[in-house]
Structure 1
């Protein structure tokens, strides 16, 4: 979405003089293909895509696509309606680099997904609603997001867990941007607010509340003052090893965005 907004001219360039804290962005998020100099966007929170599961039903965990599609899980698997995460994880399993994925490779992964749906392995393709399926017992394993699974785990006495696939997971982010319609005064105020959120102390407070990956350097040290347990959480502060196993899905051309999305939605039954 951020790439599309920037491509279509819906956003304004930042005045970085009003955002000195922009330099605190994590290196892994500093140069996305859609905005390599971060002139028009800054990450709000990072989102890791991986496997979530019911610990009682999957006592050995779910760390590969084969684990996800274990016979005992058939009919009780939910995958994300976010194309880049669900197909991205399948592509990583197939050894494909998400920064160079071709149309043939993408369509091959979509065919794999369609087969699992038609064969009854997958009960649904959903957004955050998969959390309800897990708590109700209708799903026992999912392709899901780290923040949702952190909350489920903490609210259900460790009944659920999350891991990045051994073959690699996805990372993306919601982005803060300023629309081209903003007045000069509103733009300055927005830049000051963005700068405030990129203060490590403020970023730590936000992360403690939302439990997603903070994009701000220095926030982990500040989190130590708030909650040492959260400061040690890989859900919020993934290690360098974990980050190295996460990939950003490349920006798509307008034609790819249309055809790839249509193929995914057709496979999902939409």
Structure 2
């Protein structure tokens, strides 16, 4: 996930009466990362300090967790981008110092990088019995046994289109290259998303692709850019451009479009015929001084199907917890309609068409990013 996913969710949550300051949120960045003072490395033994993305939770879970467990939750919305987050925490972790967080929720590929660098602790499985509720259909190739990270929520990268602006249905990546849409197509500034969909379009698997194997995908994107097919590479601008008809179609994230379509049925989301991408933001315990037991208590709590359903209803992404659909269906009213959302509950056929972009070494990441930057002009 990146900050690009904020604006649609912000509008949806405000509609539910959920403000940006959720529950026991506290301001500030990772204070321990700049001081070098490790005196508070462990924090209070009866609190859990959490870093998550903005507007990624409902308004009741934090205070309810505190009431039911007696653990104070210091919940901070200070992950705005995987790379900038890593740049903040890496110096302390490299020096063997605490980052003053007991639980962090980077995207799966960044969590793998942190694990491989020795910056994570193993999860105490014995303290997370509710992990038994994890949906077995959710792919976790980055850590199949859930030893180091467990999913907070998942989403799909695919194609969104404005049926009124496009004048027809769209179903494939190749549709984005139709000359009829020249100058009205949006693609994403996130390399993994845009290159990942292009890889699928040229028959390459993002789960195993090498840099050399990715050349046809880069060539496809270069040609589309040079021919004026792509209006812009965007981050959080795409929802408004799609809603206004400035974009006939664009690459998009499922949760955003699920929320947008509630307001405008002409806004639709599809997994491209060639395949889409599955990503997950994951919960993991940073090394050096974290409160492992209270972090595990938080994971265990949010894996209760009732709690997980409440979170899913607020953010509209794919819950990793089995039973959430049934809980939502039983809530009645507008919330019950979410149980029928194919974006929140993709069926096995849809899941089989999704791939996860493989973890890249730092060297490979630099090569992919540099090649992509030549196309986007960044």
TM-score (norm: length of structure 1): 0.93
Structure 1 vs Structure 2 CA RMSD:
1.5
Q: What residue number does 1:68 align with?
A: 176
1:245 paired to 2:350: no
* Contact kept in structure 1, 2:204 and 2:214, CA below 8 Å: no
Deviation at 1:30, TM superposition (A): 5.2
Describe how 1:130-209 pairs up with structure 2 within 5 A.
Answer: 130-156=238-264, 158-183=265-290, 186-209=291-314
* Contact kept in structure 2, 1:48 and 1:172, CA below 8 Å: yes
Deviation at 1:75, TM superposition (A): 0.6
Cα deviations across residues 192-227 of structure 1 (Å, max 9, x unaligned)?
A: 111111111111111111011111111111111123
- 2 CA distance for matches of 1:162 and 1:41? 29
- 2 CA distance for matches of 1:229 and 1:117? 39
Say which is worse superposed, 124-133 or 37-46, in terms of deviation. Answer: 124-133
- 2 CA distance for matches of 1:59 and 1:181? 56
- 1 CA distance for matches of 2:289 and 2:302? 20
1:223 paired to 2:320: no
Cα deviations across residues 12-71 of structure 1 (Å, max 9, x unaligned)?
A: 1111111111232232435423x2321111111111011100111224321112212222
Provide the aligned length of Structure 1 versus Structure 2: 266
* Contact kept in structure 2, 1:30 and 1:38, CA below 8 Å: no
Provide structure 2 residue ranges, at least 5 long, that are not aligned to the other structure.
1-109
Q: What residue number does 1:2 align with?
A: 111
Query: Structure 1: which 4+ aligned runs deviate by more than 3 Å?
Result: 28-31
1:89 paired to 2:194: no
Determine helix, strand or coil for the equivalent of 2:293. Answer: helix
* Contact kept in structure 1, 2:174 and 2:201, CA below 8 Å: no
* Change beyond 3 A, Cα 1:31–1:136: closer
Describe how 1:122-137 pairs up with structure 2 within 5 A.
Answer: 122-137=230-245
Deviation at 1:181, TM superposition (A): 3.4
* Contact kept in structure 1, 2:173 and 2:273, CA below 8 Å: no
- 2 CA distance for matches of 1:82 and 1:196? 32
- 2 CA distance for matches of 1:128 and 1:150? 15
The structure 2 residue matched to 1:37, chosen from 129, 133, 145, is 145
Determine helix, strand or coil for the equivalent of 2:166. Answer: coil
